[in-house]
C-alpha cells in the first residue's frame, strides 16, 4: 500500500508564501484605508469640534456643511477645475502626441522636456507659477517693461479668474504625462492598419480621427481616471499657488476639509466634507470600474 | 484591369540592398505569386507596388502609366494584409465601406456595393459585428471584401492565409482561385508556402536575397527549375540531390551510384544517355543530379532503369508511402506504393526515371541545359 509522504513543513510554507507576503499589506490597507473611512464617517455624525467627540448628533454637521458658502464655492470650483483640467490636459496631451508621432528628429529629447513637469511636485509647480503670475514681478511686469503698458495678467489675484490660474498650472504639469500615455498608445497601433487606411484613400488627419484615436479609447479612459484623481487630490497646488484666495475664491474641497478640520476647530464638518468627497468620487469611479471590468470579459 | 510592369526595381535601406534589380512583367488578368523564404524582400516589393515604400531605383507601371510618384490612394490598388489590418472600432460593414466613403461614393451606393460584396463572400450576416467578434477565417474574408468592394486595377495579397489553420487555408485558397477566375483581375500574391504558389499561380516569381531566381509557370518551375535553389524550394517532399561523377559509358554518359542491397553495397552504373547533349564536356567532372521522389517509383516498369535496393525506413503519409533509401551514403526519398495496403521493407525493385532527372553544375548551381 502506498502511504502518502508527509508534507514537509517547508513545502507548506512555500505553498502559503503568496498569502503570507500579501497579508501585511492587506491588513494595513484594511486598517488605514477602510478603517479610517469608517472612523471618519462616524466622526461626521458627532459633535466633534476641536477634538474628536463621540457623541452622535445625527446629520447636523452635513446640514451645516451645505449651508456654508465656502463649501458651495469649493464644490463649484472642483467641477470647473476638474472638468477643464482633465479635458484640456487630454486634448493638449493628445495633440502633442500626434505631433510627436510624425517621426520628427530629437523626439526623445522633446518627449523628456514635456514629461519633466510630471516629476516635479505640485508645491514647486504652484510656487513657480505664483511667481510667473504675480503682477508685480512675473509675466505682467516683463511684458509691461517691454512696452505694452496696458497688459494685464493678474489671474491669481482676481476673484473670478483665480481658479483658471490653477487650471493653467495643473495643465502645464499634467499634459506631458497625458502625451506620454497617448504616444505609447499611438506607437502600438498596427502599422498595417495605417497602410490599409492610406490605400483606402484616407488622408493622415482622417486616419487619426477615424481610425487611430477611436481605437485608443481605453487609453483615453485611463488618462481621464488618472487625471480626475489628480484633480480631486490637488490640495498642494492650491496651497502653493493661490492659498485658496483671494478670500476663498479658489478653494477646492480638499482645502476646505483641511481648513475646517485643522484650523477652524470644526472636525465634524471637515469629516462630513470628506465623506461627501468620497461619495462623489465613488459615484464617478464605481460605474466606470464596473463597466471596464465587465467589458474585459467579452473582448 | 491593367497590366503591371516592374522595371529593374532596386530598394536600399542605407547600405543594405534589399531588392537588387527586380524586373517582372504581368499581363492583364494574370495571377503572379511571389515565392521565397522569410526576409527575401517579398513584402518590400509588394509595398513598393502599392506605393507604401519608395523605389530607390527603377520604375513601376500600371497599365501604361508610370506610378513611381503617384500616391497609394491614386494607384487604384487594393491590398490584403497578412494581419488583415481591419479597423478595430468599425463594424464589418463600415470596414468594407471605408474605402468608398473616403472616395466620396454616396451613401446609398455604398450600402448597395457592401451588400453585394458581402453576398459574394457569404458574410451578409456578419455586417454588424466588430472585428474582435470574428473568427480568423471571417476576418480574412472581411479583408478580402474590403479589397473587392473597390473594384481596383490590381489586387495585392501579402501572405493572406498564413494565420489560418490548415483546413481553412485550403478552403480560402480555393476561394481565392475562384475569385480570380470570376473577376479576371491582375493579382500579385506573396507567400512562402510552395503548395499555395503551385496551385494558385499563372506564373511564379521565385525570390532569393532580393533577386528573381526564376519567373515561369508552375509546371515549368516544377519540371525545369532554373537552379538548385528553385529545385530545392519547390516540391514536397523536396528533390533529392546526388553528387555524381560523369563517366563515358557505352551508349553515352553514365555515372556510378553505390546502392545498398541485400546487406551489401553494390555499385550500379546509371545510364544518362538521355542527357548526352547536356553533359557534353562534363565527362570526368562532378555534377549534381536532382531526382524528385516520384521519379524513383517502386516496381519494375519500362519508364526507366530498374535497380534493386534496400529500404531503410518507410514513412506513410496516407496518400502515399515514402521510402528512405541509401545511395552513395546519402538519404534518398522515393515514392512507394499508394495507401497503407502494402508493407514495404527489405530489398525491392525500383525504377529510376533518369530521363526526367535534372542536372546541375555544382559550382554555379545552375541547371545544365
Ligand atoms: N526599414 C528597414 N530598414 C532596414 N532593413 C529593412 C527594413 N525593412 C525591411 N528590411 C529588410 O529587408 C529584408 C526584406 O524584408 P521583407 O519584409 O520584404 O521580407 P519578406 O520577404 O516579406 O519576409 P517575410 O516572409 O518574413 O514576410 C529583410 O531582410 C529586412 O530585414
Ligand atoms: Mg513579408
Q: Which of B34, B35, B42 to mutate to test ligand 1, by most ligand atoms within 8 A of the CB atom?
A: B42
Nearest CA to ligand 1 atom 29: B39
Whether residue B166 has its Cβ less than 6 Å from ligand 1 = no
**A196: nearest CB among B81, B89, B132:** B81
* Reduced 3-state DSSP string for A19-39: HHHHHHHHHHHHHHHHHHHHH
Angle, alpha carbons B80-B83-B84 (nearest 5°):
45
Q: What is the DSSP letter of B366?
A: B
Report which ligand 1 atom has the smallest distance to the Cα of B37. Answer: 25
What is the arithmetic mean of pLDDT over B66-84? 89
At residue A126, the pLDDT reads 83
User: What is the whole-number distance in angstroms between the Cα of residue B14 and the centre of ligand 1?
Assistant: 13
Instruction: Encode pLDDT of A162-197 as tens digits.
Output: 888 888 888 888 888 898 889 889 888 888 899 899
* Euclidean distance between CA atoms B225 and B119, whole angstroms: 41
Q: What is the ipTM of this complex?
A: 0.77
- pLDDT above 60 (res A297): no
At residue A152, the pLDDT reads 74
- pLDDT above 90 (res A90): yes
Pairing state between β B4-13 and B57-62: antiparallel
* Closest to B242 in 3D by CA, of B360, B336, B356: B360
Task: Tell which B residues from 143 to 162 touch A, by Cβ distance under 8 Å.
Answer: 146, 150
What is the arithmetic mean of pLDDT over B240-258? 88
What is the arithmetic mean of pLDDT over A96-103? 85
- pLDDT above 90 (res A117): no
Give domain status of residue A11, yes or no: no
A52 versus B4: the higher-pLDDT residue is: B4
Give domain status of residue A216, yes or no: yes
At residue B339, the pLDDT reads 58
Give domain status of residue A223, yes or no: yes
- pLDDT above 70 (res B1): no
Give domain status of residue A46, yes or no: no
* Cβ contacts of B246 within 8 Å, gap of 6 or more: B253, B254, B255, B272, B279, B282, B283, B284, B285, B286, B287
At residue B190, the pLDDT reads 94
A69 touches chain B (CB under 8 A): no
Q: Decide: residue B247, CB within 10 A, 0-12 exposed, 13-18 middle, 19+ buried.
A: middle
Give domain status of residue A35, yes or no: no
Report which ligand 1 atom has the smallest distance to the Cα of B44. Answer: 18
Nearest CA to ligand 1 atom 19: B39
Instruction: Encode pLDDT of A244-260 as tens digits.
Output: 778 788 888 888 888 88
**Torsions phi, psi of A138, nearest 5?**
-105, -140
- pLDDT above 70 (res B113): yes
* Euclidean distance between CA atoms B180 and B144, whole angstroms: 12
Share of chain A above pLDDT 90, in %: 10
Give domain status of residue A13, yes or no: no
**Which of these ranges, A25-39, A101-115, A163-177, B218-232, has the smallest mean pLDDT?**
A101-115
Residue B211: its H or E element: strand B211-216
**Residues of chain B contacting residue A214, judged by C-beta atoms under 8 Å apart:** 89
At residue A158, the pLDDT reads 74
pLDDT band at residue B361 under the 50/70/90 scheme: very high
Nearest CA to ligand 1 atom 2: B13
Q: Do B99 and A215 touch (CB under 8 A)?
A: no
Q: In what order do the strands lie in the sheet with B286-291?
A: B240-245, B286-291, B358-360
In chain B the domains, ranked by start, together with CATH numbers, are 4-233 (3.40.50.300), 240-360 (no CATH)
A152 versus B109: the higher-pLDDT residue is: B109
* Euclidean distance between CA atoms A20 and B253, whole angstroms: 83
B310 versus A5: the higher-pLDDT residue is: B310
Whether residue B42 has its Cβ less than 6 Å from ligand 1 = yes
Q: Do B52 and A198 touch (CB under 8 A)?
A: yes
Query: Looking at the CA of B35, which ligand is closest?
Result: 1
* Cβ contacts of A55 within 8 Å, gap of 6 or more: A46, A47
pLDDT band at residue B229 under the 50/70/90 scheme: very high
B83 touches chain A (CB under 8 A): yes
**A190: nearest CB among B47, B83, B90:** B83
Q: Do A200 and B146 touch (CB under 8 A)?
A: yes
Instruction: Encode pLDDT of A195-224 as tens digits.
Output: 899 888 888 888 988 988 888 888 888 888
At residue B338, the pLDDT reads 62
Instruction: Tell which of B84, B89, B105 to mutate to test the A interface (max A CBs under 10 Å).
Output: B89
Instruction: Tell which of A201, A203, A220, A299 to mutate to test the B interface (max B CBs under 10 Å).
Output: A201
Instruction: Tell which of B87, B99, B131, B159 to mutate to test the A interface (max A CBs under 10 Å).
Output: B87
pLDDT band at residue B250 under the 50/70/90 scheme: confident
Whether residue B97 has its Cβ less than 6 Å from ligand 1 = no
Give domain status of residue A270, yes or no: yes
* Reduced 3-state DSSP string for chain A: CCCCCCCCHHHHHHHHHHHHHHHHHHHHHHHHHHHHHHHHHHHCCECCCCCCCCCECCCHHHHHHHHCHHHHHHHHHHHHHHHHHHHHHHHHHHHHHHHHCCCCCCHHHHHHHHHHHHHCCHHHHHHHHHHHHCCCCCHHHHHHHHCCCCCCCCHHHCCCCHHHHHHHHHHHHHHHHHHHHHHHHHHCCCHHHHHHHHHCCCCHHHHHHHHHHHHCHHHHHHHHHHHHHHHHHCCHHHHHHCCCCCCCCCCCHHHHHHHHHHHCCCHHHHHHHHHHHHHHHHHHHHHHHHHHHHHHHCC
Specify the CATH number for the domain of residue A216.
1.10.3720.10
Q: Do B85 and A198 touch (CB under 8 A)?
A: no
Instruction: Encode pLDDT of A134-170 as tens digits.
Output: 777 877 778 888 877 777 777 777 777 788 888 888 8
Give domain status of residue A129, yes or no: yes
User: What is the whole-number distance in angstroms between the Cα of residue B13 and the centre of ligand 1?
Assistant: 10
**A with B: how many residue pairs have Cβ under 8 Å apart?**
60
To the nearest whole Å, the CA of A188 is away from the closest chain B CA by 13
- pLDDT above 80 (res B342): no
At residue A299, the pLDDT reads 42
Bridge partners of B32, per DSSP, are: B188, B203
Q: Which structural domain, as residue segments, surrounds residue A230?
A: 69-297
* Euclidean distance between CA atoms B191 and B32, whole angstroms: 11
Nearest CA to ligand 1 atom 1: B13
Instruction: Tell which of B46, B47, B50, B52 to mutate to test the A interface (max A CBs under 10 Å).
Output: B52
Q: How many domains in chain A?
A: 1
A24 touches chain B (CB under 8 A): no
* Euclidean distance between CA atoms B191 and B206, whole angstroms: 10
Residue of B nearest to A197 (CA): B99
To the nearest whole Å, the CA of A217 is away from the closest chain B CA by 9
Whether residue B37 has its Cβ less than 6 Å from ligand 1 = no
Instruction: Encode pLDDT of A33-89 as tens digits.
Output: 899 999 988 888 888 888 888 777 888 888 888 888 888 888 888 889 999 999 999
- pLDDT above 60 (res B340): no
Amino acid at each position: 500500500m502506498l502511504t502518502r509522504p508527509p508534507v514537509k513543513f517547508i513545502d507548506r510554507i512555500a505553498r502559503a508564501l503568496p498569502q503570507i507576503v500579501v497579508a501585511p499589506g492587506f491588513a494595513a490597507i484594511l486598517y488605514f484605508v477602510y478603517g479610517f473611512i469608517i472612523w471618519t464617517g462616524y466622526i461626521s455624525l458627532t459633535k466633534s469640534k476641536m477634538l474628536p467627540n463621540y457623541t452622535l448628533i445625527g446629520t447636523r454637521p452635513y446640514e451645516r456643511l451645505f449651508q456654508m458658502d465656502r463649501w458651495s464655492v469649493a464644490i463649484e470650483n472642483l467641477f470647473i477645475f476638474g472638468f477643464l483640467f482633465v479635458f484640456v490636459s487630454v486634448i493638449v496631451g493628445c495633440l502633442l502626441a500626434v505631433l510627436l508621432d510624425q517621426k520628427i528628429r530629437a523626439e526623445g529629447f522633446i518627449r523628456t522636456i514635456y514629461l519633466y513637469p510630471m516629476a516635479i511636485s505640485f508645491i514647486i509647480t504652484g510656487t513657480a507659477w505664483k511667481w510667473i503670475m504675480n503682477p508685480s514681478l512675473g509675466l505682467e511686469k516683463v511684458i509691461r517693461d517691454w512696452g505694452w503698458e496696458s497688459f494685464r495678467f493678474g489671474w491669481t489675484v482676481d476673484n473670478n479668474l483665480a481658479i483658471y490660474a490653477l487650471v493653467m498650472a495643473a495643465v502645464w504639469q499634467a499634459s506631458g504625462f497625458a502625451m506620454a500615455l497617448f504616444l505609447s498608445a499611438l506607437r502600438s497601433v498596427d502599422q498595417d492598419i495605417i497602410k490599409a487606411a492610406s490605400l483606402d484613400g484616407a488622408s493622415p488627419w482622417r486616419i487619426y480621427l477615424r481610425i487611430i484615436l477611436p481605437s485608443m479609447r481605453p487609453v483615453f479612459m485611463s488618462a481621464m481616471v488618472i487625471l480626475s484623481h489628480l484633480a480631486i487630490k490637488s490640495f498642494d497646488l492650491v496651497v502653493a499657488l493661490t492659498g485658496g484666495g483671494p478670500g476663498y475664491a479658489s478653494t477646492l474641497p480638499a482645502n476646505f476639509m483641511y481648513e475646517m478640520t485643522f484650523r477652524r476647530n470644526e472636525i465634524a464638518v471637515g469629516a462630513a466634507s470628506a465623506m461627501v468627497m468620497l461619495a462623489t468620487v465613488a459615484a464617478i469611479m464605481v460605474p466606470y470600474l464596473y463597466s471596464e471590468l465587465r467589458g474585459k470579459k467579452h473582448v | 484591369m491593367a497590366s503591371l510592369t516592374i522595371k529593374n526595381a532596386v530598394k536600399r535601406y542605407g547600405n543594405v540592398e534589399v531588392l537588387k534589380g527586380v524586373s517582372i512583367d504581368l499581363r492583364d488578368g494574370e495571377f503572379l505569386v511571389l515565392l521565397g523564404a522569410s526576409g527575401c524582400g517579398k513584402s518590400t516589393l509588394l509595398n513598393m507596388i502599392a506605393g507604401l515604400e519608395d523605389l530607390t531605383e527603377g520604375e513601376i507601371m500600371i497599365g501604361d502609366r508610370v506610378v513611381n510618384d503617384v500616391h497609394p490612394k491614386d494607384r487604384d490598388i487594393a491590398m490584403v494584409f497578412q494581419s488583415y489590418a481591419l479597423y478595430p472600432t468599425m463594424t464589418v460593414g463600415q470596414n468594407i465601406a471605408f474605402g468608398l466613403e473616403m472616395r466620396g461614393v454616396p451613401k446609398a451606393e455604398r450600402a448597395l456595393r457592401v451588400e453585394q460584396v458581402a453576398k459574394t463572400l457569404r458574410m451578409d450576416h456578419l455586417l454588424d459585428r466588430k472585428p474582435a467578434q470574428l473568427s480568423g477565417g471571417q476576418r480574412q474574408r472581411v479583408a478580402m471584401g474590403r479589397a473587392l468592394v473597390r473594384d481596383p486595377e490590381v489586387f495585392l495579397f501579402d501572405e493572406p492565409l498564413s494565420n489560418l489553420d490548415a483546413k481553412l487555408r485550403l478552403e480560402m485558397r480555393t476561394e481565392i482561385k475562384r475569385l480570380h477566375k470570376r473577376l479576371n483581375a491582375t493579382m500579385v500574391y506573396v507567400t512562402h508556402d510552395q503548395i499555395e504558389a503551385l496551385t494558385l499561380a499563372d506564373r511564379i516569381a521565385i525570390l532569393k536575397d532580393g533577386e528573381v531566381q526564376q519567373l515561369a509557370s508552375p509546371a515549368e518551375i516544377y519540371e525545369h527549375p532554373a537552379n538548385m535553389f528553385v529545385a530545392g524550394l519547390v516540391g514536397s517532399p523536396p528533390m533529392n540531390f546526388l553528387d555524381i561523377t560523369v563517366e563515358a559509358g557505352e551508349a553515352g554518359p553514365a555515372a556510378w551510384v553505390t546502392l545498398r542491397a541485400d546487406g551489401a553495397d553494390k555499385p550500379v552504373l546509371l545510364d544518362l544517355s538521355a542527357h548526352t547533349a547536356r553533359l557534353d564536356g562534363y565527362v570526368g567532372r562532378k555534377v549534381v543530379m536532382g531526382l524528385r521522389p516520384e521519379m524513383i517509383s517502386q516496381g519494375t516498369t519500362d519508364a526507366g532503369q530498374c535497380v534493386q535496393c534496400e529500404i531503410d525506413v518507410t514513412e506513410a503519409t496516407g496518400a502515399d508511402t515514402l521510402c528512405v533509401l541509401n545511395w552513395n551514403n546519402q538519404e534518398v526519398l522515393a515514392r512507394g506504393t499508394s495507401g497503407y495496403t502494402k508493407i514495404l521493407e527489405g530489398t525491392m525493385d525500383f525504377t529510376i526515371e533518369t530521363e526526367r532527372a535534372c542536372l546541375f553544375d555544382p559550382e554555379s548551381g545552375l541547371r545544365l541545359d
